[in-house]
Chain A
Amino acid sequence: MHLSEPPVTPELIRQHGLTPEEFERIKGILGREPSYTELGIFSVMWSEHCSYKNTRPLLKTFPTKSPKILVGAGEENAGIIDIGDGLAIAFKIESHNHPSAVEPFQGAATGVGGIIRDIFTMGARPICVLNSLRFGELSSPEVRRLFSGVVSGIAHYGNCIGLPTVGGEVYFDKSYEGNPLVNVFCLGVLRHQEIARGAAKGIGNPVFYVGPATGRDGLAGAAFASQDLTEESADQQRGAVQVGDPFMEKLVLEACLELLGTDAVAGIQDMGAAGLTCSTCETAARAGTGIEIELNKVPQRGPNMTPYEIMLSESQERMLIIVHRGREAEVKRIFDKWDLPWAEIGTVTDTGRMMVRHNGKVVADVPAAKLANEAPVYNRDAREPAYLAQVRSFTLAQVPALKDPIADLKVLLAWPTIASKNWVYRQYDHMVRDGTVVHPGSDAAVVRIKADSLPRDVDQKIPEKFIAMTVDCNSTYVYLDPYEGGKIAVAEAARNLACSGAIPIGTTDNLNFGNPHNPEIFYQLRESVRGLAEGCRVFNAPVTGGNVSLYNQNPEGAIAPTPTIGMVGLIERLEHITTQWFKDEGDAIILLGNIVNESDPLLGLGGAAWLQVIHNLKTGAPPRCDLEQEKEIHSALHALILSGVVKNAHDCSDGGLAVALAESCISQHVARETPKLIGAQIDLTAVKNVRPDALLFGESQGRIIVTTSDLNATKTIERAKLLGIPAARIGTVGGDALVIKTDTELKWPVAELYDLWWNAIAGAMA
């Protein structure tokens, strides 16, 4: 159709990642051969990133309903949950793995920018971000380059746009070498009546393009994200990585929220993956309308851009806005005020088609709904991975004997995955917006909602509310048992929220896996989704949306399967907010849950950090997760917190009880170079017939350390038992050392533990 366009050949079709069958399907939809531009359009819309063609049947198994859900999974750019008093939150997690692998700084930065746009597209004011990052081991210079680049990219974008990065996680594991994971979560707040929709409503309404001009950057990034990474990727695909401008996005954000306050907007969608293509066809598909645009009118960064390039560009910070006819002047007024480019590029039609013209000539004419919604869906073959048989055959007898628990705890605390992440979060502004109540470094971040958290501060008092957030996934567990590991990812997220005083209200998931064409990978995907879905059901935390990132492979193989969970909880009152560190000398230390799960043949040592770090063994069936029991413990903890007796709460996760106790002693930070360290005397001599390695470093699930005043200890334990929860006093806060009595007495000065834990990553990066 376009004179300069190359002919569509089988080779070109293959380069676009489309199979011959998919090409036939496109011809069926169009009733003819697609043009080059149309081929590009289909290839990005039918990529895994945009269409979920390999995972849609699995995603359907997630629980997605609750009376509090105002916008559900898959409906819009992000889900929205009612938090009472006419207020709601929008949140979502999204990956930017492939771009970060080839260009860590910009790849990570634009990941932040993209998820923030998804939130304000919903009409919400973004108030904070979190991230889940995974890299190879820090001993590799290349890994250090990626890690440092990703962290500074996130810092660059988040700090400049003025959103606090309030929490997250960082894991280091060999399987991520060359294929780091960068998952970014954003949460925003709005009033119910402020929900905006990504729908091209109202035949004849004008379609506006706002934000910076379209360039050749990020061409077909969505398609790139849906391929394996290869040795050549870095060189070939750098052009598929976008360049971010957080200053520009700050202006676009404020201008869009101001415009949304005028009622002039009929529909709005950001131009993220697949840029102009995705935003036009999806908005038309949602409204059941058509859309017609003229590419000549699209602001362009350079001359001679082809229709293909304009449609597939993923230049950042751009929005598509459908305005009620007659209200165009308001768009112009507001975007001029913010000195932002805008252009009227088309209209909403009743044809159901996405019609794209360039210089008046039609370059694409596609049924919008079919393009957006009728990507092929594949039920991939699944086969249990061969390695799992060996994993399951690993027995306690093969666990090497505990030789030096004093040294082992020190090594674990300095292991980058467990060590303090202050080297990371001190580079992020985590306090801007005056809402961060619990900073990075506790089990979950807690942010306060106040009047200026809303899209428009109209000088109206709102009831103060607190939102707790966490991102979690122990991918070692998922690798060793995808189903159980999936359950644990959810349970751990819920447990972190419980420890902060919150009740979970919703989940967003980021499924990071290898190539789904490999049946063993698809098995990991299918089984972990089964575990996740079960967990979300039990914790009443339905999935409101998320992201799938497949093809996370490097030449060595696939990454450890990583279904990252972002979970959000509500805390009604300030005094219920609980942190993980010990508070006062003399407080009683109580363990909720069984100290060791004796029905687990490996006593919690399978996949444990201790086995990985001390013995270089990444094997064994991971700890069992009894979701119902886990939930009872969380509920009991919540009841105790509400009764006002709980002074700290910290869950046992990576590194087991010993690491959790140490963290409770050393993680309170008052100011720069000013930790508030406090020791603890722990007596485990009453625990009989349990191996000391399992006792100290086993990772049995469903265990939470809490403290109360000495006076409240007995009644707290009785109360917990009444609620059906195992509870026992295991020690007392105080002194300048962590002392654990088993059959021997183990002692660690807290200042030494702090130093190892606090400085480990900085040391590795120096």
Chain B
Amino acid sequence: MNFAVVQFPGSNCDQDAVHVLKNVLGHSARLLWHKETTLADADAVIIPGGFSYGDYLRTGAVARFSPVMQAVQTFAGNGGLVLGICNGFQILCEAGMLPGALIRNRSLQFRCETVHLRTENPNTPFTNQIPAGKFLRVPIAHGEGCYFADSTTLAQLNERKQVLWRYVNAKGETADDANPNGSVEGVAGICNQHGNVAGLMPHPERASEGLLGSADGRLIFESLVHWLGRRVSPRASALTAQAA
């Protein structure tokens, strides 16, 4: 598989994503500079964590206007898989590619720690390799990761099974003290209505090797790979669409 990892000025988890995709999972992965206007031969796009454009104004608010994000929007519009991690999730929300918003943590402090995640919908490109009943241990590291959506949006997300992961305790229960940032209903990650764009605050690329404390995050990348492997390349369909 060919992964493109977008590199904004201020991205800082870009190399980590490339490392995991390339060195741990053995796929092709390359950095895609924010001034690029095409995605070339990418099968899937990762919008990595960091502080794009310094996160001035508001997290992700500037990044969505970059040239590369226009290309990502087109790619996603054609069914391409896009995964936003942390700052990437914030950018996808700002760009309107995912509903809702990420606001300051309830504690008003940056929070870096490992959390437990429960997968809410196993039938998506991002979750299909996660065994039922498995709670993922994956780190978070953010100051503005409190997911918020109005009640209508939230009801829709639930109804359409767009909530992919929730923060839970070690027993897999949602609980106030298991929620590290005050996210509404403990939402940690969601996807769009078509299921091809997803975002989450936790960092699966930091939990893809046992020596770093957990390899649970690998399951998310392996889900993408599995999904891509069993269907026609989305890039091919995107090209067909453009030609038409």
Contacts and interface: CB of A to CB of B under 8 A. Distances in A.
Interface of A: 152, 155, 159-162, 245-248, 250-251, 338-339, 425-434, 436-437, 439, 448, 450-452, 457, 574, 669-674
A672 B116 contact: yes
A674 B116 CA distance: 9
B212 A432 contact: no
B113 A426 contact: yes
Contact of A160 (B55, B116, B213): B55
Contacts, number: 111
Nearest to B50: A162
Given A159-B141, A673-B169, A245 B115 contact: no
Interface stretch (B13-21, B88-96, B125-133, B226-234): B13-21
Chain B binding surface, main DSSP class = mixed
Nearest to B179: A672
A247 B53 contact: yes
A434 B206 CA distance: 6
Q: Which of A338, A339, A427, A448 has the most CB of B within 10 A?
A: A427
A247 B110 contact: no
A436 B110 contact: no
A247 B63 CA distance: 14
A673 B169 CA distance: 8
B139 A431 contact: yes
Given A160-B55, A245-B54, A247-B56, A431 B170 contact: no
B9 A429 contact: no
Contacts of A245: 54
17 contacts: A160-B51, A161-B12, A162-B50, A247-B9, A427-B111, A428-B110, A432-B12, A432-B16, A432-B49, A432-B206, A434-B206, A434-B209, A670-B114, A671-B114, A671-B170, A672-B115, A674-B116
Contacts of A451: 19, 23
Nearest to A338: B9
Contact of A672 (B18, B56, B114, B205): B114
Contact of B206 (A250, A431, A450): A431
B203 interface: yes
Given A160-B54, A247-B56, A673 B178 contact: yes
Nearest to A425: B112
A250 B212 contact: no
A247 B10 contact: yes
Nearest to B111: A426
Contacts of A433: 15-16
B137 interface: yes
Given A247-B53, A251-B9, A670-B137, A436 B212 contact: yes
Contacts of A152: 109-110
Given A432-B13, A437-B212, 15 more contacts: A159-B110, A159-B143, A247-B53, A250-B9, A432-B206, A434-B205, A434-B212, A448-B211, A450-B23, A452-B15, A452-B18, A457-B15, A672-B116, A673-B169, A673-B177
A476 B85 CA distance: 45
B20 A434 contact: yes
B182 interface: no
Contact of A247 (B54, B143, B170, B205): B54
Contact of B19 (A160, A428, A430, A450): A450
A604 to B, nearest CB: 35
A428 B51 contact: no
Interface in B6-60: 9-10, 12-13, 15-16, 18-20, 23, 49-51, 53-56
B180 interface: yes
**B: interface residue count bin:** 35 or more
A467 to B, nearest CB: 14
A429 B113 contact: no
A88 to B, nearest CB: 20
A630 B213 CA distance: 31
Contacts of B50: 162
**What 10 pairs between A and B have smallest CB-CB spacing?**
A162-B12, A247-B54, A671-B114, A434-B16, A429-B141, A160-B51, A452-B15, A674-B170, A429-B112, A427-B110
Nearest to B31: A457
Interface of B: 9-10, 12-13, 15-16, 18-20, 23, 49-51, 53-56, 109-116, 137, 139, 141, 143, 169-170, 177-178, 180, 203, 205-206, 209, 211-213
A246 B50 CA distance: 12
B141 A432 contact: yes
B8 to A, nearest CB: 10
Given A159-B110, A162-B13, A671 B211 contact: no
A339 B114 CA distance: 35
B200 to A, nearest CB: 16
B38 to A, nearest CB: 18
A439 B213 contact: yes
Contacts of A155: 110
B111 to A, nearest CB: 6
A451 B23 CA distance: 10
Nearest to A255: B9
Q: Which of A246, A433, A673 has the most CB of B within 10 A?
A: A673
Contacts of B54: 160, 245-248
A427 B112 contact: yes
B15 A428 contact: no
B60 to A, nearest CB: 14
Contacts of A450: 19, 23
Contacts of B55: 160, 247
Contacts of A574: 211
A432 B10 CA distance: 13
A452 B12 contact: no
B212 A427 contact: no
B105 to A, nearest CB: 10
Q: Which of B16, B53, B205 has the most CB of A within 10 A?
A: B16
Contacts of B112: 159, 425-431
Nearest to A439: B213
A429 B206 CA distance: 12
Q: Which of B13, B53, B205 has the most CB of A within 10 A?
A: B13
Nearest to A433: B16
Contacts of B211: 437, 448, 574
Nearest to B207: A431
Contacts of A427: 109-112
A439 B114 CA distance: 11
B21 to A, nearest CB: 12
B108 to A, nearest CB: 10
Contacts of B143: 159
Nearest to A245: B54
Contact of B203 (A430, A431, A452): A431
A671 B51 contact: no
Q: Which of B12, B109, B137 has the most CB of A within 10 A?
A: B12
Nearest to B35: A337
Contacts of A251: 9-10
Nearest to B11: A162
Nearest to A437: B211
Contacts of A246: 51, 54
Contacts of A457: 15
Contacts of B15: 433-434, 452, 457
A693 B112 CA distance: 38
B29 to A, nearest CB: 11
Contacts of B111: 426-427
